[in-house]
């Protein structure tokens, strides 16, 4: 992982949270949704197939862990999410990354996807700190 660097594009709109065994974890600073971004710390990876099989398994474990983190945090109301949205897109920033987003039926964009939609507002400080503490535990 020595040549790995996070694409600077992620610095706009998201906050570094932690490094898990495979992934660098970021919190999307969008108070509409509890939303983590998992970036495997593997230089040059763009698609899931670019990971070695053992790293693919780690990625899945970390996706599930991220889901457990966002599940109790359904937005500023702190209510449980109804559905996880898990996606590796990368049309804008090619570096392999996986979004794990907690969705609620009453969130502002339901049932549409969250990507490329304006209207983000920063997380309330207390909620951001709670999510960061959980992700770093």
Considering only 27, 38, 84, 131, the residue that binds its own copies (CB under 8 A) is: 84
Strand order in the sheet with 35-40: 14-19, 23-28, 35-40, 98-103
| Residue 78 to residue 55: CA distance in whole angstroms | 32
Indicate the residue among 2 and 21 with the shorter CB distance to its own copies.
Answer: 21
Q: Which letter does DSSP use for residue 11 in this model?
A: G
Size of the site for its own copies (CB under 8 A): 29
**Best CA proximity match to 108, nearest among 90, 121, 127, 95:** 121
Indicate the residue among 19 and 112 with the shorter CB distance to its own copies.
Answer: 112
Considering only 11, 83, 106, 124, the residue that binds its own copies (CB under 8 A) is: 83
- CA angle, 76 as apex, 80 and 6 as ends, to 5°? 90
Is 80 a binding residue for its own copies by CB under 8 A? The answer is no
Site residues (vs its own copies, CB under 8 A): 46-49, 56-57, 60, 63-64, 67-68, 83-92, 94, 103, 110-113, 115-116
């Amino acid at each position: 992982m020595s040549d790995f660097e996070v694409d600077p594009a992620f610095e706009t709109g998201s906050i570094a949270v932690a490094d898990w065994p495979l992934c660098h974890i970021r919190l999307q600073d969008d108070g509409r949704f509890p939303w983590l971004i998992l970036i495997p710390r593997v230089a040059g990876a763009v698609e899931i197939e670019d990971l070695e099989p053992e790293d693919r398994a780690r990625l899945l474990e970390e996706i599930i862990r991220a889901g457990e983190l966002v599940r109790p945090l359904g937005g500023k109301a702190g209510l449980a999410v109804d559905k996880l949205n898990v996606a590796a897109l990368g049309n804008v920033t090619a570096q392999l990354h996986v979004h794990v987003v907690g969705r609620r039926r009453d969130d502002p964009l339901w049932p549409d996807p969250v990507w490329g939609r304006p209207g983000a507002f920063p997380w309330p400080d207390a909620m951001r700190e709670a999510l960061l503490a959980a992700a770093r535990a």
